[in-house]
Structure 1
Amino acid sequence: MAPTQNLFLVAIAFAVIFTASTVHGRHNGAEDIVHSSCEHASYPSLCVRTLSSYSGPTITNRRDLAQAAIKISLSHAQSAAKKLAVVRDSVGKKKQEKAALVDCVEMIGDSVDELSRTLGVLKHLRVSGGSAKEFRWQMSNAQTWASAALTDDDTCLDGFQGMDDGEIKTEVKQWMTKVARVTSNALYMVNQLDETRGKPHDVHL
């Protein structure tokens, strides 16, 4: 084989190895951030599981992590909203059950809107280069909306308290409990982003 061909093959092999090691390094970095950040979340195991399987952009810092957590929560809320709407429209005329479902659909709709607002703030968050006052105002909005979303999730579940157990109640409880838990974890990530801004030991924002 000619020397030129040998050099060409060596170059290709080096490029493949370099690319693989870079991707592996980024993957490990994302896993490190996820595991360390989820350690004290409301639901650590769920936090690690959902964020580790996140298929969006690579997580390289805490702002990425907070955005990913909100996106996951938003996705769960949107899915639950669709399911609840179907059940609401198909349920019989049991007044208490029907009323609880109507209220729940409204609550989850509000939650979707509030999580969308939270995500919008995080996407434009001035973690560097902006004033501390501006950052605090943005974080206050993000925290307020994420907290409101969690409250709405819990309020939906409260509407079924005291009601006889049944298929509908069981399904709604399963859906909304999952939404509430991922939203609780997402709120924790948003709060962590606020607390760690500018600290020397934090991941670069």
Structure 2
Amino acid sequence: MATFIFFSILIFTIFTLTSSATPDLVRSSCQHATFPKVCIHTLSLYQGPATTPRELAQAAIKVSIARATNASQFLSGLQKEVDRREKGALKDCASQIADSVDDLRKTLSELKELKRGTFKWQMSNAKTWVSAALTNEDTCLDGFKEIEGRVRSDIKRKVINVAKVTSNALYLINRLDHP
């Protein structure tokens, strides 16, 4: 019985170490991020392989995609709850967040295919797309500056959450220095 428990713990430990981001890499990579606590929290929970800075940057983009997709679905669900004045801002915001998702997906694709000969070009593309995603998220919030209430604060909370993880992803991408 003791042998079974020992091997079970050993297998669990090996599985955990090989299927999630390593805590030391996450901590050292996130310590100077724009939102270090958010960076550490979200990437510590990440369940894919992330044992190199490149994999960690990809994980950060995947987290951003997931959060942006969630925000997009949330915005779509609000369409029936808002008044006419909010509807236009909400529609624009939903479009901008959808654009952010597209930009982040292009970034992830680019990061997966980094090559020595085109590395600088690919990194430039990735940084441009993540920056565009951040701009879209910021622009989304601008549409609600004149609108008060629960809907506005719910949207603001969701979009700021997306912007924080996206900003951290850009930081991690900026730290990559080779393919």
Greater Cα radius of gyration, structure 1 or 2:
1
Does residue 167 (structure 1) correspond to residue 150 (structure 2)? The answer is yes
| 1:40 partner SS | coil
In 1, are the aligned partners of 2:20 and 2:45 still within 8 Å (CA)? Answer: no
Match of 1:36 in 2: 28
Stretches of 4+ aligned residues off by more than 3 angstroms: 12-29
Q: Output the CA distance in 2 between the equivalents of 1:28 and 1:92.
A: 44
**Pairing partner for 1:138 from 118, 122, 138:** 122
Deviation of 1:136 after TM superposition, in Å, equals 0.4
Q: Which amino acid in 1 is paired with 2:171?
A: Y
**Pairing partner for 1:177 from 134, 156, 160:** 160
Which runs of no fewer than 5 residues in structure 1 stay unpaired?
1-9, 198-204
In 1, are the aligned partners of 2:21 and 2:46 still within 8 Å (CA)? Answer: no
Q: Deviations over 1:148-192 (max 9, x none)?
A: 0011001101111132x2011011001001001110001111111
Superposition map of 1:14-29 within 5 A: 22=14
Does residue 92 (structure 1) correspond to residue 83 (structure 2)? The answer is yes
Change (3 A) 1:115 1:16: same
Q: Output the CA distance in 2 between the equivalents of 1:61 and 1:152.
A: 29
Identity of aligned residues (%): 45
| 1:125 partner SS | coil
Deviation of 1:17 after TM superposition, in Å, equals 8.0
TM-score, reference length from structure 1:
0.78
Which runs of no fewer than 5 residues in structure 2 stay unpaired?
none
**Pairing partner for 1:154 from 138, 142, 155:** 138
Q: Output the CA distance in 2 between the equivalents of 1:166 and 1:24.
A: 43
Alpha-carbon RMSD: 2.4
Deviation of 1:23 after TM superposition, in Å, equals 5.2
Q: Output the CA distance in 2 between the equivalents of 1:17 and 1:182.
A: 33
How many residue pairs align between the two structures? 177
**Pairing partner for 2:53 from 50, 53, 62:** 62
Q: Output the CA distance in 1 between the equivalents of 2:91 and 2:150.
A: 17
Q: Which amino acid in 2 is paired with 1:143?
A: K
Which range moves more in the overlay, 149-158 or 82-91?
A: 82-91
